[in-house]
Chain A
Amino acid sequence: SQTIHQWPATLVQPVGSPLSLECTVEGTSNPNLYWYRQAAGRGLQLLFYSVGIGQISSEVPQNLSASRPQDRQFILSSKKLLLSDSGFYLCAWRETSGRTNEQFFGPGTRLTVL
């Protein structure tokens, strides 16, 4: 069965510090991968998506970047965090081998920038 991992679970970082959040998926090949941010009491904002290794598309211009160095690994980064980067970051995946269109989420990383 497929599983998705995210770490760390929580993170408190000072403004101006770098960021690296990691997501890995097990039990599937060539998934679509997604990074979302969820602000308190608000919906999900799509930040980046990837259809394959090294292929990253950005939805919203911002202080963040993403990379996909391996098929089932997705990394969210920043060189210098801003206060506005605080939020709940969710990684998600979608299987591409069939006609189903379900998207599954990881447990999330809660980031607080002080």
Chain B
Amino acid sequence: QKEVEQDPGPLSVPEGAIVSLNCTYSNSAFQYFMWYRQYSRKGPELLMYTYSSGNKEDGRFTAQVDKSSKYISLFIRDSQPSDSATYLCAMSAYQYNFNKFYFGSGTKLNVKP
């Protein structure tokens, strides 16, 4: 079983739709959760960062973490064509000297104008 599972998509939505992206994980020690946006042929860009459970909102983006279900989500409101990209979830457990990060395989999102 993979440490992190993510539906690869592709996910195609009309402009203005609410997008829901999800990941599940198996390691209950994970405390730090991240979402990255990666445009084609570019490096991943850190979009959202959360610690432990709960919600975090930043503009049109909301990250949710449910540690009891080992499930994280990223919601995008009022989606725009510029949101078309691959979204990677990532997570880790805290260690003082070094942290290893575990990534989902990415969900490709296409927002149609």
Contact = CB atoms under 8 A, between A and B. Distances in A.
- Our verdict on whether A and B bind, yes or no, reads yes
Interface of A: 6, 32, 34, 41-44, 46, 49, 51, 88, 90, 94, 96, 99-108, 110
Interface residues of B, number: 26
Contacts, number: 55
Contact of A104 (B46, B51, B99): B46
B34 A102 contact: yes
Given A44-B88, A90-B43, A101 B94 contact: yes
Interface of B: 8, 31-32, 34, 36, 41-46, 49, 51, 88, 90, 92, 94, 97-101, 103-106
A103 B8 CA distance: 22
A103 B46 contact: yes
Closest 8 CB pairs of A and B: A43-B105, A101-B32, A105-B43, A108-B43, A44-B103, A107-B43, A105-B44, A51-B98
A71 B77 CA distance: 41
Given A104-B46, A107-B42, A108-B42, A43 B98 contact: no
Most A Cβ at <10 Å: residue of B36, B44, B104: B44
A43 B88 contact: yes
A101 B43 contact: no
Contacts of A42: 105
Nearest to A105: B43
A110 B41 contact: yes
Contact of A103 (B31, B42, B90, B97): B90
Nearest to B4: A43
Contacts of B104: 43
A49 B106 CA distance: 22
16 contacts: A6-B43, A32-B98, A32-B99, A42-B105, A43-B105, A43-B106, A49-B98, A90-B44, A94-B99, A99-B94, A100-B49, A104-B46, A105-B45, A106-B43, A107-B42, A108-B42
